[in-house]
Chains A and B, each alone.
Chain A
Amino acid sequence: MNVNWFKFASPPAFYSLAGRLIPIFWGLTLTLLVIGLYWGFFQTTDQLGGSNPQKEYYRIIFIHVSSAWMSMWLYFVMVVWAAIGLVFNTRLSFMMAKAIAPTGAVFTFLALWTGAFWGRPSWGTYWDWDPRLTSELVLFFMYIGYIALHSAIDDIRRADRASALLAIVGLVMVPVIFWSINCPDPNQCAALHQRSNLTKIDGNILFAMLTMSLAFWMYSFAATFMRLRSLILTREAESIWVRELLTQRGEQ
């Protein structure tokens, strides 16, 4: 087992590796989506009971929790690549970070949107300035800020570094959101949003929720790699390997 991982850190090698992985991620995404949606709509109870007797609208949980998890996870991964880029000055790391941001922003928006559509029938409001909702909104603005800052600076290397710094500073939001949702002590959590506790969820509901989360994760890989490949080609347009690639494609 002597794989040279650094080989894949070069843009042309990663370009072709990602090209081979994308169909696999799409296949996984679609399979998991079908299983997750089928389970969520046909293998779960229509109405909840116990201390939280919600009606059919609770089914929004399958996309709401998954989107919210992805919004935080993708931000974390984005910051890791941004930090690696700053320290080691690797071209590909910055491109990774830039490729993740739009997908992260989409999932953050979806967490807010699906949360609003769930909040209206259950709590009685689309929106409230609850600490958990507010911090998710701030996370959305962090993604938008990162994308905006990057596009506002013409010099690519400067844009990469400046937006990477912004992303690292914004990382402060992730533990705040995570803590406020997974608040360990009810005595310290005056909020409208319920806490997160996977042990109090019915097995079928939990299965659908976890399957949908995996589906969204695989989707994130596929979408991010697609964006990354375009980004690599754009930035390396002058290089010999891109020219060879174009000639090869032309001959096919």
Chain B
Amino acid sequence: MVEFFVQGGYAFFVWGAYGVTALLLVAEVIQLRAQRRALFVRLNRLNRTRELDKNQ
């Protein structure tokens, strides 16, 4: 197990490459989900104001 993390003494390079890759891909997905959630909040608000306009 320790051997796996040490990677023959090249842990910094191996995990430096893999870590940043994982970080960026996960960050992209989180950003996409947040973008979608924010978009629905905005669109729903837009829809409600439209309904109100119609009723007046």
Chain A 139-174 interface mask (CB, 8 Å, partner B; 1/0): 000000000000000000000000000000000000
**Closest A residue to B24 using CB positions:** A106
CB neighbours of A55 from chain B (8 A): 8-10
Q: Which of A47, A60, A243 sits near B47, CB closer than 8 Å?
A: A243
Q: Tell me whether B43 and A67 are in contact (CB under 8 A).
A: no
**In the assembled complex, B29 has its CB within 8 A of some CB on chain A:** yes
- Determine if A106 and B28 form an interchain contact, defined as CB atoms under 8 angstroms apart: yes
Q: Is the CB of A219 within 8 A of B25?
A: yes
A102 cross-chain contacts in B, Cβ below 8 A: 28
**Distance of A71 from chain B, by nearest CB (Å):** 13
- Bits for A65-94, please: 1 = Cβ < 8 Å to B, else 0: 001000000000000000000000000000
How long is the Cα–Cα vector from A249 to B29 in the complex, in angstroms?
A: 22
CB of A246 within 8 Å of the partner chain? yes
Given pairs A56-B9, A59-B7, A226-B32, 4 additional interface contacts (CB within 8 A): A67-B21, A114-B20, A223-B29, A242-B43
Contact of A227 among B8, B9, B32, B50 (CB under 8 A): B32
Could you tell me if A246 and B43 are in contact, using CB atoms closer than 8 angstroms? yes
For A, the interface residue count at a CB cutoff of 8 angstroms equals 37
Chain B residue with the shortest CB-CB distance to A223: B28
* Smallest beta-carbon distance B32→chain A, Å: 4
The verdict on A49 contacting chain B, using a C-beta distance below 8 Å, is no
In the assembled complex, the CB of B52 is this many whole angstroms from the nearest CB of chain A, namely 14
Task: State which of A110, A121, A227 has its C-beta within 8 Å of the C-beta of B20.
Answer: A110
Q: Is A57 an interface residue (CB 8 A)?
A: yes
Q: Which of A99-134 contact B (CB under 8 A)?
A: 102-103, 106, 109-110, 113-114, 117-118, 120-121
Task: Please give me the residue from chain A that is nearest to B25 by CB atom.
Answer: A219
Contact B47 A56 (CB under 8 A): no
Whether A250 pairs with B44 at a CB distance below 8 angstroms is yes
Which residues of A lie under 8 Å from residue B35 when comparing CB positions?
227, 230
Question: Are A47 and B13 touching (Cβ within 8 A)?
Answer: no
